[in-house]
């Protein structure tokens, strides 16, 4: 028993030596002085532990003083931790002061209970051990454990936050202090689960404390104290997101459950149960280790809560806002986005893809170190599904596809990371890809966070540009409607004159057959002009279209035949292949006539003097009736397709840029869809679909039918 007190005596001597060194250097090391209370409490605890071992007859008297030291020791460690760091946030320091004041008050109350009512706290057993009386023993050790967990969390976050060369100077000091708190935590758990203290605990505590103090002394030997001030900053979430809190809490709960089972079932059954628990735990952790998703989630969790970010997000956000603040149009926005990606990430190959509304495909519009642009990708491409479902960037290696289409995409872009550019509703506007870092470094959670935030900002700017373009187009159309009022007066006069000629033609004509023919022509022309005037007048007063229920059911094939009959003298007359058994469609006859006429004339103008073919065919698929106009002209480039349906944009020198926009508007007014398929040198195909009346399915079924369209032979 006498030798059992030697470790405690060694701790007392070493702690006194360290305290003397700290006092001697107090002028140079103001923060080092904060260690003095901890050294003093250690001298107190292990001094009385040594007396308890050397004088077993008075073990209760000496151990109550040691227990008071155990209560005060976490407070001295907290005093050291708060001296090492500054807590971020204005409200956090006040909350921290209340925490420490509460801990100090609790420690003082329980210290008074121990000193003045020790008979209610502990008693001596027949074997010379100290037995803690319940419930006071549980209260005291529980308070000590909670305070130590808070202190361990503080030291953990200090060690994580500090960087070299401070990390090199502080490492052993913090590890030594953490070792002291860790051993005290083990003792607190032991006191809760098995409320007995015997002299062997003093030997174990003394030996571990001696090792920890040696580490502290070694760290003090290479620590330049004056460089510590204001260089460490710990997040205000240090207590709430601490690994220490989770580990100690989990350990305490598991050990408590096992202890309760041991008491209730006996040792043999408990040992079997413990073996099963250990085996299941090993299986569980091995399973987690081989789960890619779990590893990724754990990396993200630790990166967010425990690791210092590689970026200063305040500087980065200022950089991003300055980059995009001067953008005046969408094309400039894409240029700035590509420039930012290339300057921020050292990736040899970067691409940006955008969804074109005309063909509903994604086209590569910007790139770095790409010789030629790859073919556009369709909605069914394997990479688009994960991008549409995830607001976060994804690794291309996580896409489980071995299709040739996906492999071609990877070969063309060398993509390692794909970043979605989507709006809040989840609609994918585009995406960007980054290849492997040229230095071989991978992309971590900080990179993904930065990419996600910037891509969201780009998506927001795109939506703002689209809204501005829509407002501009609306203003231009308002001007067109205003001018139509002036033309309305002239057209009305012309119609009145033609009507008068028709009424008097039989009176002044000489050839009866000619008179009859002229009369019919004039009447038909005047009627059409009057109808056009009426329509313009209605739209000038109210641009809303006629209610759909007032539109009659029509036969699409019959309408197309009428349009073709009226197109005479064309160099390349269209060939019409009508579909069989087409259901009726509720559409405005005049709108369809104008639609077909515009599409045929556009095809004729696109082919020019070249000999080619214009084919029109109809068919029914799913819930829709399809009308297809296909030509063998020169086709269109991606730049032409991108703005094909936008108003006041025309590739013709004398064009107004309203024809195809008007076609799109007419189709959508009839609850239909229109899209284009075109390649340079391969002609153009315009696909129009209308929902027919033989279904009561919802409108989104039409959209699915259009997107899944397969061109018939």
What local confidence, expressed as pLDDT, does residue 673 receive? 92
Average pLDDT over residues 14-38: 78
pLDDT interval class at 566 (50, 70, 90)? low
Quick one: fold of 313-469? Beta-Lactamase (3.30.450)
Asked whether residue 629 carries a pLDDT value surpassing 90, the answer given is: yes
CATH 1.20.1070 fits 3-236, yes or no: yes
> Which of 238-242, 295-299, 583-587 has the highest mean predicted lDDT (pLDDT)?
583-587
Residues 353 and 360: their CA atoms lie apart, in Å, by 12
Exposed/middle/buried for residue 519 (C-beta within 10 Å: 0-12, 13-18, 19+): middle
What local confidence, expressed as pLDDT, does residue 533 receive? 65
What local confidence, expressed as pLDDT, does residue 87 receive? 35
pLDDT interval class at 160 (50, 70, 90)? low
Asked whether residue 446 carries a pLDDT value surpassing 60, the answer given is: yes
pLDDT interval class at 166 (50, 70, 90)? low
What DSSP line would sit under 15-33, residue for residue? Answer: HHHHHHHHHHTTTT-TTGG
Average pLDDT over residues 373-392: 87
> Which of 257-261, 324-328, 423-427 has the highest mean predicted lDDT (pLDDT)?
324-328
CATH architecture of 549-707: 2-Layer Sandwich (3.30)
Give pLDDT tens digits for 80-133. 877 766 433 333 344 456 777 788 888 888 888 888 876 777 888 877 788 887
For residue 165, say if its preceding peptide bond is cis, omega within 30 degrees of 0: yes
What local confidence, expressed as pLDDT, does residue 456 receive? 92
- Of 125 and 271, more confident: 125
- Percent of the chain with pLDDT strictly greater than 90: 11
Average pLDDT over residues 161-188: 74
How far is Cα of residue 336 from the mean position of the Cα atoms in its chain?
21
Nearest Cα neighbor of 141 from 133, 267, 433 is 133
Asked whether residue 213 carries a pLDDT value surpassing 60, the answer given is: yes
Asked whether residue 350 carries a pLDDT value surpassing 90, the answer given is: yes
Asked whether residue 627 carries a pLDDT value surpassing 90, the answer given is: yes
How far is Cα of residue 645 from the mean position of the Cα atoms in its chain?
32
Beta bridge partners of 571: none
This prediction's pTM: 0.49
Domain boundaries, the chain: 3-236, 313-469, 549-707
Residues 664 and 473: their CA atoms lie apart, in Å, by 14
| Residue owning tokens 């691409």 | 351
What local confidence, expressed as pLDDT, does residue 365 receive? 92
Average pLDDT over residues 373-382: 87
Instruction: Judge whether 79 and 31 are in contact, CB under 8 Å.
Output: no
Q: Which of 104-108, 207-211, 644-648 has the lowest mean pLDDT?
A: 644-648
What local confidence, expressed as pLDDT, does residue 241 receive? 44
Give pLDDT tens digits for 216-265. 888 777 665 444 444 444 443 444 445 455 555 555 555 555 555 555 55
Give pLDDT tens digits for 188-202. 887 777 778 777 788
What local confidence, expressed as pLDDT, does residue 628 receive? 95
Provide CB contacts within 8 A for 274, sequence distance 6+.
258
Average pLDDT over residues 358-371: 86
- Of 219 and 364, more confident: 364
What local confidence, expressed as pLDDT, does residue 421 receive? 93
Asked whether residue 697 carries a pLDDT value surpassing 60, the answer given is: no
* Both tokens assigned to 170: 């502080």
Nearest Cα neighbor of 606 from 674, 684, 686, 687 is 684
Question: Pseudo-torsion of CA 519, 523, 524, 528, nearest 10°?
Answer: 160
Q: Which of 68-72, 138-142, 177-181, 238-242 has the lowest mean pLDDT?
A: 238-242
Average pLDDT over residues 48-56: 83
pLDDT interval class at 418 (50, 70, 90)? very high
Average pLDDT over residues 261-283: 51
What local confidence, expressed as pLDDT, does residue 336 receive? 92
Q: Average per-residue pLDDT in the chain?
A: 74
List Cα–Cα distances, 20 to 15, 25, 44, 214, 378, in angstroms. Answer: 9, 9, 16, 15, 76
Average pLDDT over residues 135-139: 79
pLDDT interval class at 434 (50, 70, 90)? very high
Exposed/middle/buried for residue 427 (C-beta within 10 Å: 0-12, 13-18, 19+): exposed
pLDDT interval class at 391 (50, 70, 90)? confident
pLDDT interval class at 398 (50, 70, 90)? confident
Q: Which of 313-327, 407-421, 469-483, 553-567 has the lowest mean pLDDT?
A: 469-483
Average pLDDT over residues 199-217: 83
- Of 492 and 314, more confident: 314
Q: How many CA atoms lie within 13 A of 80 on its CB side?
A: 26
What local confidence, expressed as pLDDT, does residue 545 receive? 47
What local confidence, expressed as pLDDT, does residue 54 receive? 83
List Cα–Cα distances, 554 to 588, 590, 626, in angstroms. Answer: 8, 11, 14
Give pLDDT tens digits for 503-553. 556 565 566 765 665 565 566 566 666 666 666 666 555 554 444 446 788
Average pLDDT over residues 473-494: 61
Asked whether residue 152 carries a pLDDT value surpassing 60, the answer given is: yes
């Amino acid at each position: 028993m006498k030798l059992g007190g030697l470790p405690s005596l060694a701790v007392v001597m070493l702690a006194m030596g360290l305290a003397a060194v700290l006092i001697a250097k107090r002028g140079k090391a103001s923060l080092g002085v904060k260690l003095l209370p901890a050294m003093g409490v250690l001298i107190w605890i292990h001094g009385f532990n040594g007396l308890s071992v050397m004088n077993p007859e008075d073990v209760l008297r000496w151990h109550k003083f040691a227990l008071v030291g155990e209560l005060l020791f976490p407070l001295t460690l907290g005093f050291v931790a708060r001296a090492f760091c500054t807590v971020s946030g204005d409200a956090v320091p006040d909350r921290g002061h209340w925490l420490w004041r509460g801990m100090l008050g609790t420690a003082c109350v329980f210290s008074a209970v121990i000193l003045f009512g020790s008979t209610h706290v502990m008693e001596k057993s027949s074997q010379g051990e100290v037995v803690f009386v319940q419930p006071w023993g549980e209260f005291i050790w529980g308070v000590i454990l909670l305070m130590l967990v808070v202190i361990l969390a503080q030291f953990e976050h200090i060690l994580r936050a500090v960087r070299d060369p401070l990390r090199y100077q502080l490492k052993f000091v913090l590890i030594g202090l953490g070792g002291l708190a860790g051993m005290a935590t083990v003792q607190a758990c032991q006191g809760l689960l098995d409320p007995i203290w015997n002299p062997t605990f003093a030997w174990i505590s003394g030996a571990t404390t001696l090792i920890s103090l040696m580490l502290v002394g070694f760290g003090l030997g290479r620590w330049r104290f004056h460089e510590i001030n204001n260089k460490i900053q710990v997040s205000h979430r240090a207590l709430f997101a601490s690994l220490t809190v989770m580990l100690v809490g989990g350990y305490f709960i598991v050990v408590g459950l096992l202890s309760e089972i041991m008491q209730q079932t006996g040792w043999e059954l408990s040992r079997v149960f413990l073996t099963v628990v250990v085996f299941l735990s090993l299986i569980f952790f091995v399973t987690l280790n081989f789960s890619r998703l779990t590893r990724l989630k754990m990396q993200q969790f630790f990166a967010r809560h425990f690791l210092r970010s590689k970026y200063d997000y305040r500087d980065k956000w200022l950089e991003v806002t300055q980059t995009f603040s001067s953008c005046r149009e969408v094309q400039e926005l894409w240029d700035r986005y590509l420039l930012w990606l290339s300057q921020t990430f050292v990736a040899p190959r970067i691409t940006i893809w955008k969804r074109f509304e005309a063909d509903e495909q994604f086209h590569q519009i910007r790139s770095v170190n790409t010789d030629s642009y790859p073919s556009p990708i369709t909605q069914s491409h394997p990479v688009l599904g994960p991008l549409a479902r995830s607001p976060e960037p994804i690794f291309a290696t996580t896409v489980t596809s071995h299709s040739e289409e996906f492999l071609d995409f990877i070969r063309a872009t060398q993509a390692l990371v794909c970043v979605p550019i989507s709006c809040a509703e989840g609609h994918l506007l585009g995406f960007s890809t980054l290849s492997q870092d040229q230095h071989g470094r991978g992309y971590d959670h900080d990179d993904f966070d930065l990419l996600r935030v910037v891509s969201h900002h780009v998506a927001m700017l795109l939506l703002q540009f689209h809204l501005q373009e829509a407002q501009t187009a609306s203003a231009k159309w308002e001007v067109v409607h205003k001018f139509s009022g002036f033309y309305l007066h002239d057209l009305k006069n012309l119609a009145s004159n033609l009507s008068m000629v028709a009424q008097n033609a039989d009176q002044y004509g000489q050839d009866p057959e000619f008179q009859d023919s002229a009369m019919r022509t004039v009447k038909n022309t005047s009627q059409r002009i009057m109808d056009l005037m009426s329509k313009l007048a209605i739209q000038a007063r109210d641009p809303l279209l006629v209610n759909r229920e007032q539109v009659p059911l029509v036969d699409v094939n019959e309408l197309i035949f009428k349009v073709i009959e009226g197109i005479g003298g064309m160099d390349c007359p269209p060939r019409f292949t009508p579909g069989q058994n087409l259901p009726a469609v509720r559409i405005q006859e005049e709108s369809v006539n104008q639609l077909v006429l515009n599409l045929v004339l556009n095809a004729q103008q696109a082919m020019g003097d070249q000999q080619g073919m214009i084919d029109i065919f109809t068919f029914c698929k799913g819930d829709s009736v399809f009308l297809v106009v296909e030509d063998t002209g020169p086709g269109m480039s991606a730049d032409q397709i991108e703005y094909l349906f936008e108003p006041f944009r025309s590739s013709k020198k004398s064009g107004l840029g309203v024809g195809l926009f008007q076609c799109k508007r007419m189709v959508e007014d009839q609850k239909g869809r229109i899209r284009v398929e075109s390649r340079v040198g391969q002609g153009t195909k315009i696909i129009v679909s209308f929902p027919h009346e033989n279904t009561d399915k919802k409108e989104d079924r039409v959209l699915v039918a259009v997107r899944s369209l397969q061109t018939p032979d």
